[in-house]
Amino acid sequence: MMDHKDVERFVLEKVKPTMDERLEISRVVDSLKNRVRCEIEQRGLNVSLELVGSIAKDTYIRGNVDIDLFMVFPLSVKRDKLKKHVLEIGKAVLEEWEECYAEHPYIRGYYKGYDTEIVPCYRIESSSQRVTAVDRTPLHTSYVKKHLKEEQKDEVRLLKQFLKGIGCYGAEAKVEGFSGYLCELLIIRYGSFYSLLSEANKWCYKERITLDEDSKIDFDNPLIVIDPVDPKRNVASALSKDKFDLFTLASRMYVKKPDLRFFYPKKVKPWSISRIKKELKEREGVFVGLEIKKPRVIDENLYPQIRKSIRVIREMCESYNFKVMDIGFTVLDEEEKVYIIIKTKDDKLPRVETHTGPPVHLKRNVDDFISKWINHPCVIKEPYVKDGRLYVEKEREYSDVYKLLNEKLKNLSLGKDIIKEVNKGFKVLKQGELIRDELKEYWTTLLDGKHPWER
């Protein structure tokens, strides 16, 4: 059996860039900078260029390279001018470009086959001067280059591949995991990949980590890592509780029994339709689905809207007494569909429900209760006393979850792009209708219940 050093040595041989790759990336970055500088000079702009991200810090993984080039403007330049220049230059330089929007626009596309982003920011000396969130990114790059030791760059690579393997790498909305900068800070703080995992398996909710200056702010996040560049910011703010729990569990399991599968898990092998049907028959509860056309928006906008929609749908179902045991979603890019899948204890409830009123000794409450329900059109059995308390039996507004979803979904405060698609049309699907080829991987992952390293 391999010990952790053997495992990590093997992984590092696969993730560390080769000399040829380093030279190739260096040539491409130099070429990109020259092209952008030419565009800057043609426009007579006072703009400097700064390479940021994992290439600048030499923490990138072999075969997985994104180029992040920042155009650094003086604070005197107005934001509308900043937007205009970066969009014009990006479109002139990149292939298959698209405009993206955070606090201000940036350009994403390809340069000589590499994923590339050209991002505008303001030139600042400290975070207190920042105008937008990205202004501190060059400061992050400088901090890591100053504090990350040469031998620790490989430790960052190991951590990134480990997080990729367990499905926790990336701070984007789709993943809600660990950013590259967070990985680098954790290695700076704990020294090595294995030392980090040895400590992380003991982390508790709201674990707080500082490298330099602490902050007085009480962040409400599972993991709190104070940004050494901006103490008012939690670098781990994007990390969800689910991904925090998954990482701490994976850390515990890896330290206990190191295995290559943490870094390179087997792909999910979808079960057959017949097996999925058999498994579902043996499970408690009923699955109900919503099929919605996928909005044509970037993931950073789509996934928060889906999660908001899920919260609202759960609350609505439970307000009508349908007990939601679980609720999840899957996005199928090729089919351009979003499925929201609800596991409810029952899909149908008794037509009549007993509604509990106040104790009989609370005269004012009793009078109000009787006034409300006497002669009410929904009442089946008017207010009566039992064991010292008032009750009324009334007809439910909705006793069928399918009818509830069909009639109420369009009235909910869903994500703005989700509701647009819902208004165009959606489908409420029964459990049998959800067992289809395009959802086999979703069902397999859900019903199998195995973590990535256990496959």
**What residue spans of 295-415 are helical by DSSP H?**
299-319, 363-373, 401-408
Closest CA to 391 of 400, 379, 401: 379
What proportion of the chain, given as a percentage, has pLDDT over 70? 99
Q: Is residue 298 part of a domain?
A: yes
What does the pLDDT look like over 340-354, one tens digit per residue? 999 999 999 999 989
Of 145, 179, 196, which residue constitutes the final position of a domain?
A: 145
Return the CATH number at 152: 1.10.1410.30
| Confidence (pLDDT) at 102 | 67
What proportion of the chain, given as a percentage, has pLDDT over 90? 84
- What distance in Å separates the CA atoms of residue 98 and residue 119, rounded to the nearest whole number? 12
User: Sign of torsion, CA 287 290 295 300?
Assistant: negative
Q: Where in the sequence is the domain holding 390, given as residue range(s)?
A: 352-395
pLDDT band at 72 (very low <50, low <70, confident <90, very high): very high
28-54 burial, b at 16+ Cβ within 10 Å, e below that, comes to: bbeebeeebeebbeeeebebeebbbbb
What does the pLDDT look like over 4-56, one tens digit per residue? 999 999 999 999 999 999 999 999 999 999 999 999 999 999 999 999 999 99
Please give the helix or strand (H or E) that residue 119 lies within, else none: strand 114-122
| Confidence (pLDDT) at 411 | 94
Q: Is residue 268 part of a domain?
A: no
| Confidence (pLDDT) at 213 | 79
User: Pairing state of beta strands 105-111 and 223-225?
Assistant: unpaired
**Which residue do the tokens 């509780």 mark?**
241
Q: Is residue 12 part of a domain?
A: no
Of 145, 167, 194, which residue constitutes the final position of a domain?
A: 145
The number of C-alpha atoms within 13 Å of 127 and in the hemisphere containing its C-beta is 15
* Residue 363: burial class (beta carbons within 10 Å; 0-12, 13-18, 19+): exposed
How long, in residues, is the chain?
A: 455
User: Pairing state of beta strands 114-122 and 66-73?
Assistant: parallel
Return the CATH number at 284: 3.30.70.590
* For residues 130-151, average pLDDT: 92
Q: Is residue 4 part of a domain?
A: no
Q: Is residue 11 part of a domain?
A: no
- 246 and 341 both lie in a single domain: no
Q: Is residue 7 part of a domain?
A: no
Q: Is residue 64 part of a domain?
A: yes
Q: Per the structure, how many domains does the chain have?
A: 4
What does the pLDDT look like over 321-377, one tens digit per residue? 999 999 999 999 999 999 999 999 999 999 998 989 999 999 899 899 999 988 888
| Confidence (pLDDT) at 212 | 85
Q: Is residue 300 part of a domain?
A: yes
